[in-house]
Each structure stands twice: as structure tokens, then as C-alpha cells.
Structure 1
């Protein structure tokens, strides 16, 4: 049972959350920092990092741990999938595909783990990188 008090929504957290929810690019902490600095010029990078991690732990946002790349953040905390470009690292939401209904009880029995969540990531080449390949490439 979690008995932590609810997260206080400070002005800094509110601005970080608004900026993150205002984009679909899944920015890094450095990119969020640059967005937030336009509204709060004196905010520190450490404050942005700390608040992103705190909001991710509290379930207000998602932290995307992308293999071989920096952490990215998603303002949509709901269960949905992502597709990542293997060339440029771009990450996009996948809409229109319902989340997989995993047999959690069986997975727990087989693994011995108490499952908390799952994450599925698709990998491919984004439209911009495919366009840079030229006509007919990869067909």
C-alpha cells in the first residue's frame, strides 16, 4: 500500500507538464529544459530533470528508456505504444492499435515476477529518413 501524499503541483511542475503535453515529439530532458526556459528563464536543468523523474514516478508522464539513446518523456501517461526510428532516434506514438491483453497471471507464474506493467516498442525507419533515402529505396 502506497501512503505517499499526492504530488504538490508547483508552478515549475505545472509549466513542465504543460510544455510536455503540448508536444508529441517525446523530448529529452534537455529539450524540455529549453522549452520551459522560455517561460521560466531562471529554472535550472537539474530542476527540470528532478521534476521529470518525479512526475514519471507519480504516473503523470511516461519516461521512455530508449535503448542506446537518451531518456525521452511523454506527456500522455496512458497505455499506448511507440515507434522509434533506428536512424535518427525519433519516437512517435502509435494510435489505432489497442494495447495487447497479456495473460498476466500466467506470465507471473512462469517468471516468478509480480508484473507491474509492460512496454512494447516498434522500430523502423521514419518518413523523414525514408524520404532522405530517395525514391524507391527500401521498397
Structure 2
């Protein structure tokens, strides 16, 4: 079982309205992929989402999950978290936040950093073009993994 939060009807209505605004049909697969992603707190990969969905939709293909995630991300309805060391991970778009990624267990945690969000960008960036978003990914070793590594070193 994975950690999850319940997805309420209001969140689902917001998603459906966003799909209509983007000109996307609201298909059963899109709803189920979004529902799974919106309820997950572990920033799952496409493969993990596929495994979870197969419990209730045994015929859903991995290709369908990939295509659905790609479409939803392209339309800004979900976020794709590109990582250096592991497959892309995904999350439902929500409050602006950044990510901590453990290089040992690959767990991704959210954190807010208002200072970074509000600080003016360096001079000259405006001439580059339109900045859509800012995202900070901080890499390191989480407390659980650090403790395990220290215990191994003591043995």
C-alpha cells in the first residue's frame, strides 16, 4: 500500500474544468491516472502509477499511462520532476514548492522556499524570454538513509 490522500469531488471538478479549458477529452484513463497521481504523496514514476492502476484496471497499458502523463504534463495539469539519477517522477500540480531528493533511497520530499520564489531574477534574464516557473531540486541523503549509512559504518 502506498501513502495517499483522498481526492475529493472539488479537486476532481477542478481537474475536469482544466481539461475542458485545455481542449482535452475527459477519458476514463485520464481520470484514473490523475486520481492516482493526485492521491499519491510519493512522487511516483510512470511504472509505479501503472502498477497501482492495474489493480483496478488490469487492461491498462504502460504506454497509455506514459501518453496520459505526457499529455497532462504538456498541458500543465500535472508536473514532471526530472531527476538526474532515476526515471522521471510525477505529481499533481498544486501549491508552489521545491523538492529534496535522497541519492540513496530516491525518495522525493516537497518543501516551500518563499525567499527563492519571491527574489527577483538576475539582470538580463528578461531578454532570454518568458520564465514560466522556478524549481529548485536539492540533492542529498535523507535522515533515514544517513542513519542506516552511519550504522553500517559502525559495524
Name the TM-score class by shorter chain: 0.7 to 0.9
Decide which structure has greater helix share: 2
Q: Structure 2 vs 1, CA of residues 107 and 54 (structure 1 numbering), >3 Å: closer, same or farther? A: farther
Q: TM-score, normalised on structure 1? A: 0.82
Query: Which consecutive unaligned segments of at least 5 residues does structure 2 have?
Result: 1-20
Query: Which consecutive unaligned segments of at least 5 residues does structure 1 have?
Result: none
Q: Which among 102, 109, 112 is matched to residue 85 of structure 1?
A: 102
Pairing 1:115-134 to 2, within 5 Å after superposition: 115-134=131-150
The separation in 1 between residues aligned to 2:122 and 2:23, in whole angstroms, is 30
Other structure's SS at 2:110 match: strand
Q: After the TM superposition, list the runs of 4 or more consecutive aligned residues in structure 1 that deviate by more than 3 angstroms.
A: 104-107
Q: TM-score, normalised on structure 2? A: 0.74
User: Is structure 2 residue 34 aligned with structure 1 residue 17?
Assistant: yes
Q: How many pairs are equivalent?
A: 131
Q: Structure 2 vs 1, CA of residues 76 and 115 (structure 1 numbering), >3 Å: closer, same or farther? A: closer
Aligned-pair RMSD on alpha carbons?
2.2
The separation in 2 between residues aligned to 1:58 and 1:74, in whole angstroms, is 14
The separation in 1 between residues aligned to 2:118 and 2:28, in whole angstroms, is 38
- Given that 1:86 and 1:125 are in contact with CA atoms closer than 8 Å, whether structure 2 keeps it comes out as yes
The separation in 1 between residues aligned to 2:117 and 2:47, in whole angstroms, is 32
Q: Structure 2 vs 1, CA of residues 5 and 112 (structure 1 numbering), >3 Å: closer, same or farther? A: closer
The separation in 2 between residues aligned to 1:50 and 1:102, in whole angstroms, is 36
